[in-house]
Amino acid sequence: MYTLPQLIEEDIQRIVAALKAFNILADATATLVIDKGGFLITHAGDPGDLDLTTIAALASGAFMANQTIAGLVNEKNFNSTYQQGEQFSLFIINIDDHCMLVVIFKSQSGVGVVKYYAESTVNKIAQQLIVAQKRDPGKGFNLSELNVADPQEMFRKKD
């Protein structure tokens, strides 16, 4: 079954450090690491009022749809998409089987520099994910401590 490696806070810190360094080099506004199921894992930069949760869900869907189209035309070497905008542009690149990197950058910045620095950043993140994968896979977080009192009432309807 599809699964992310278990990440701990140290992993997240290292990934965020890589993202911050990338943002400076590539002059990116915000950079996200997202899971292919559409979850936002972490991000760096100043997204302002951008809705990162929704961007993560849509970027995941868009990337996967493009990847599927690429497969249908027998293109096996697909690993990124680029959306050119007037204000902001978006570059999405595959990290590994489970995650991808989403870069939001001002359109006057060149996509070339984003692509160039994204390569090494993706490698750093992928390496950290391998480290996480090799860590004790059985070591999990004990959810029983969460003590869910009454999930029946988790969502209430307005009167």
Partner 1 sequence: MAIINQATKELQVKIVYYGPAMGGKTTNLVQVHDHVQTVAGNKGKLVSLATSSDRTLFFDFLPIEAMTIKGFKTKFQLYTVPGQVIYNTTRQLVLRGVDGIVFVADSQYEKMPENVESFQNLVDNLNTLKINLAEIPYVLQYNKRDLPNAAPMEYMEYLLNNREVQVPSFGASAHKCEGVFESLNMITRMLLQKFISQSTPQLA
Binding site for partner 1 (CB under 8 A): 1-9, 11-13, 35-42, 51, 53-54, 57-58, 61, 64-65, 68, 138, 140-148, 151-158
Q: Quote the tokens at residue 70.
A: 């690429």
Please state the closest distance from residue 48 (CB atom) to partner 1, in A: 16
Q: Closer CB to partner 1, residue 54 or residue 127?
A: 54
Query: What is the Cα–Cα distance from 116 to 109, expressed in whole angstroms?
Result: 13
Q: Closer CB to partner 1, residue 25 or residue 58?
A: 58
Amino acid at 25: L
Please state the closest distance from residue 12 (CB atom) to partner 1, in A: 4
Query: What is the Cα–Cα distance from 134 to 44, expressed in whole angstroms?
Result: 25
Distance of CA 31 to the CA centre of its chain: 8
Please state the closest distance from residue 15 (CB atom) to partner 1, in A: 10
Q: Are strands 80-83 and 88-94 parallel, antiparallel or unpaired?
A: antiparallel
Find tokens 């860590």 and name the residue.
135
Q: Closer CB to partner 1, residue 89 or residue 128?
A: 128
Q: Closer CB to partner 1, residue 25 or residue 47?
A: 47
